[in-house]
Amino acid sequence: FQINQDKTNFATLRNIQGLHAPLKLQMEFRAVKQVQRLPFLHSSNIALDTLRGNDESIGFEDILNDPSQSEAMGEPHMMVEYKLGLL
């Protein structure tokens, strides 16, 4: 759903403001997706939600988040070493 909505928004933006606007927005999306917290900390991706306009809406995942998929469990040093490929 999100991919189709992004395509529609980019097409509308291209028609209204020109080719540079959706390209700039796509570059901002890529930059924001690359920024992450350490592997043992929960990441809320608030910057991505703000770019998409979802920062003021409350969804299912905001209230009933699955604790089994939490990133906050585990030994911090081991998780960082695993992410860097040292283990």
Model confidence, pTM: 0.62
| Domain spans of the chain, in order of start | 1-84
Q: What is the mean pLDDT of residues 12-20?
A: 93
Question: How far, in whole angstroms, is CA 25 from its chain's centroid?
Answer: 14
- Mean of the per-residue pLDDT values for the chain? 83
Residues in CB range of 11: below 8 A, 6 or more apart: 22
Query: Residue-wise over 6-23: b if at least 16 C-beta within 10 A, else e?
Result: eeeeeeebeeeeeeeebe
What letter represents residue 65's amino acid?
N
pLDDT in tens, 18-38: 999 999 999 999 999 888 887
Residue 84 clears pLDDT 90, i.e. is over it? no
pLDDT in tens, 50-60: 988 888 888 77
* pLDDT reported for residue 69: 60
d(CA 18, CA 20): 6
